[in-house]
Chain A
């Protein structure tokens, strides 16, 4: 599974970082998303799904 982030859509609310700082970070400059680990495994897969679910701008998606 692969995490796809559309930085153009990201509104920088940081919900994803709160859910899993191991997977996501925010740029220092404008707070847009940085994916730290694009191919999560194990427990992190569920965290990635949660992040997709809460992201307010549908900037995140998963690809099998």
Chain B
């Protein structure tokens, strides 16, 4: 049994399009291995596809991110934990988690989302109009990647358009690794206070938007509480924002680097959804965020994990595991593999995944359809990749046409 840590975490990348090389090493040599965390503590890094799925789908692992023993990935982050506060959905365990998730899931069915398609298309077209009307080169992150998911979720929730800049600013502070804990907490509070006020206003005469419908439904069930709904609104706003934005930026680079694959989706938009799926696998932008705390002893991949120990389910390693994917480091938009864990796995698997898929599909079809001459305005090795963030992506993406 291993008792010392051979690796520090996070591990360094050497290529913007590949996981840290050490992932392959641990996956092959010691698939469940101890790693040293930035605060001096340690956790188990789980690196094989099968084992990652086990961790994410077993009740012996808790998602309680407010728990003092939950693995701390950013030094000092534990200082901003609030063990006494109500948990957001993403940090709940059974039995609270299931009912809280089901209460809102009806808003995200495939059929419900299809009804939103024309409006999402309009939003995307509007942003591309702006990009085209602006200077060349323009920044795709500011003009397209960030505004699209933010406008879409604000509209679904029923947040007035005029306030979306406020959210943009505060969500960035919540997500950036370099935000000091106190500042992060202040940003969280600002968004939650705003949500609480907005919901209090909607209570008077619940409108036909996501928050309004939740008020009506939860009141009928006798489970309505304003603070809980404000927490859900907050999570929906934050969870789908940077994630989808980063996928838009990174996939655009990947398409431009692989013109033969781009040509395939241009020729046949029927292929775009498979391409989206492959981009999700290829980049796996949420890698370490799927950490867990072991609450009951269990064996994973031949390694005994004890209650109280932290676990990092490395999704990016799982998605490049040759045991699960043929030629895993190759980008192949025709692969059609959906068993990746880019949206996680198990009870917490991304609730907004089908919304994200639709947004990405519409963005790529529209962007490359309307601007066929789109190209990068900066060398790939100079692009500001987010090597320092919990969610991988790009700070800026200068493009021209």
> Which residue numbers of A lie inside 8 Å of B, CB to CB?
11-15, 17-19, 21, 25-32, 50, 53-54, 56-58
> Which residue numbers of B lie inside 8 Å of A, CB to CB?
57, 101-103, 105-106, 108-111, 338-339, 343-351, 353-354, 357
Chain A residue, CB-CB nearest to B344:
A56
User: With a CB–CB cut-off of 8 A, which chain B residues contact A53?
Assistant: 338-339
CB distance from B335 to the nearest CB of A (A): 13
Query: Contacts A11-B101, A11-B347, A11-B349: A19 and B338 contacting too (C-beta < 8 A)?
Result: yes
The answer to whether A13 touches B106 (Cβ under 8 A) is no
User: With a CB–CB cut-off of 8 A, which chain A residues contact B347?
Assistant: 11, 56-57
Secondary structure call for the A interface: loop
The answer to whether B102 touches A30 (Cβ under 8 A) is yes
The answer to whether B102 touches A12 (Cβ under 8 A) is yes
Q: Which of B57, B105, B106, B348 has the most CB of A within 10 A?
A: B105
B345 touches which of A12, A17, A56 (Cβ 8 Å) = A56
The answer to whether A54 touches B338 (Cβ under 8 A) is yes
The answer to whether A30 touches B110 (Cβ under 8 A) is no
CB distance from B360 to the nearest CB of A (A): 13
Chain B residue, CB-CB nearest to A26:
B109
The 7 closest A-B pairs by CB, nearest first: A31-B105, A30-B102, A56-B349, A12-B105, A26-B109, A17-B110, A54-B338
User: With a CB–CB cut-off of 8 A, which chain A residues contact B343?
Assistant: 13, 56
The answer to whether B106 touches A29 (Cβ under 8 A) is yes
Write 20 A-B pairs (CB below 8 A) sorted by A numbering: A11-B101, A11-B347, A12-B108, A12-B109, A12-B351, A13-B349, A13-B351, A14-B354, A15-B353, A17-B109, A18-B110, A18-B338, A18-B357, A21-B110, A31-B105, A31-B109, A32-B102, A54-B338, A56-B344, A57-B346
A28 touches which of B109, B344, B346, B351 (Cβ 8 Å) = B109
